Amino acid sequence: MITIIYPYRNRELSRIKRSLDSLVHQDNKNFRVLFVDYGSSIPFADEVKNLVLSYSFATYQYSYTLYQPWSRSKAINIGLKWVQTPYVFVADIDVIFRNDFISMLNNLASSARCYYFKVGFLSEPETSVIKKFSEYQISFSSEMGAQGLSLFPLQAVQGIHGFDEFLHFWGAEDIDIHNRLTRTGIESLFYNDQILLLHQWHKSYRKGETDVLSNELQLKGVVQLNHQHLITHQNRGVTIPNFKTWGETISETDFNELNDFDNQIVINNTKERVTHFLFVELPQFQNGILSVRFVEDSFQNSIKYKIKKTVGKKVPNYYNLKEINDMLLLHIISFYHQLPYTFKISADLKSISFKIKKQSF
């Protein structure tokens, strides 16, 4: 028996349906699906849940992380804690499965090996049409470096505490887990005898990154940071990177408590004020909820400030909100991602709100 984990957030219902429909037609029914919704917007999540549960082989798990950055690692790890089968396949909502894929997984499954698979990528026009698997025209296929769609022995993956939860947004988590498993003696193999998986077209997420603040959570340079993290693991021979509490998520109770907490501290964007919060106030705070809102100092846009700056007089030094966004997100994913927290950018892009629940130990 194999469990298929889908890590997911806020993608089209049609995309979900096409992927799950391809599992309906498998010639081997010896599988389960665990669908981990890592923080879709709550009204939409109800539609997702209803669709997923309409498939008899699927279960649905919601994580209250809608006000946290995307982490494929954390989403998969949540699923790994629920898996009860000896083998797990990590999927993607964009995947269409050939009808003998589950049979192939059952044939390949081994406690001493993990496999990743060659994938055929569809163009936008080809994705828009529903066809038999064999009739799709493939634009290009993945090579050995693409390890995102993988079959693992569950005990081996749980033994190294799953995927590295430092890794947020995009990049490195798949290569990292294969590398760490290899260091424990598990063989990592690329299955490229034939194409058993197709990938539905979508816009590139990385091309959507901007150098200015946006309502979509982003961290400038995170792909390069994640790659450096991967290199460091390789150099140090790391096998177990996570806290003992890996695979956990913010509870509905904690989420509601944070959401309802109104006692907010307003912090202006002067460099010394922001720096003091990040390096002194935030790490020292314990036993309660800390709620702050970062805003631009009104003096920064005043005529007096502009005149003083022009004539070379002393004026405050400021971070812009994008810089604060990046520094705060970097602190969160480095030191606080295992704690209950929320991170919100206002619709008008004029403030950033951050709440975190900490307990003394």
**Residue 65, number of CB atoms within 10 A of its CB:** 23
Max Cα distance, the chain (Å): 77
CA-based R_g, the chain, Å: 23
What burial letters (b/e) apply to 93-103, b meaning 16+ CB within 10 Å? Answer: bbbbbbbbbbe
HSE (CB half, 13 Å, CA atoms) of 46?
2
Using alpha carbons, list the distances in angstroms from residue 50 to 6, 55, 60, 69, 237.
16, 9, 9, 24, 43
pLDDT of residue 316: 83
Using alpha carbons, list the distances in angstroms from residue 195 to 2, 121, 316.
20, 10, 59
Using alpha carbons, list the distances in angstroms from residue 320 to 51, 295, 300, 327.
42, 9, 10, 11
Assigned token pair, 221: 């340079």
Strand pairing report for 288-295 and 265-268: parallel
* 130-149 confidence digits (pLDDT tens): 999 999 999 999 988 888 89
Question: Residues 31, 57: contact at Cβ < 8 Å?
Answer: yes
Domains of the chain plus CATH, in order, are: 2-236 (3.90.550.10), 252-358 (no CATH)
DSSP lists the bridge partners of residue 189 as 115
Rounded Cα distance, 94 and 19, in Å: 7
Residues of the chain scoring pLDDT < 50? none
- pTM of the shown model: 0.94
Taking CB atoms within 8 Å and a gap of at least 24, the contacts of 314-318 are 316/270, 316/271, 317/270, 317/271, 317/272, 318/269, 318/270, 318/271
Question: DSSP label at 277?
Answer: I
Question: Residues 9, 68: contact at Cβ < 8 Å?
Answer: no
> Which region holds residue 172: left if phi is over 0, alpha if psi is between -120 and 50, else beta?
left
Question: Residues 189, 134: contact at Cβ < 8 Å?
Answer: no
**Residue 29, number of CB atoms within 10 A of its CB:** 11
**Residue 259, number of CB atoms within 10 A of its CB:** 13
**Residue 177, number of CB atoms within 10 A of its CB:** 25
Using alpha carbons, list the distances in angstroms from residue 301 to 85, 268, 292, 351.
60, 13, 22, 15
List Cβ neighbours of 41 (8 Å cut-off, separation of 6 or more): 10, 66
Question: DSSP label at 278?
Answer: I
Give Cα 19 distance to the centre of its chain: 20
pLDDT of residue 206: 63
pLDDT of residue 194: 95
- Please provide the DSSP assignment of 91-123 as one string: --TTEEE-TTHHHHHHHH-BTTEEEEE-EEEPP
pLDDT of residue 288: 95
pLDDT of residue 315: 80
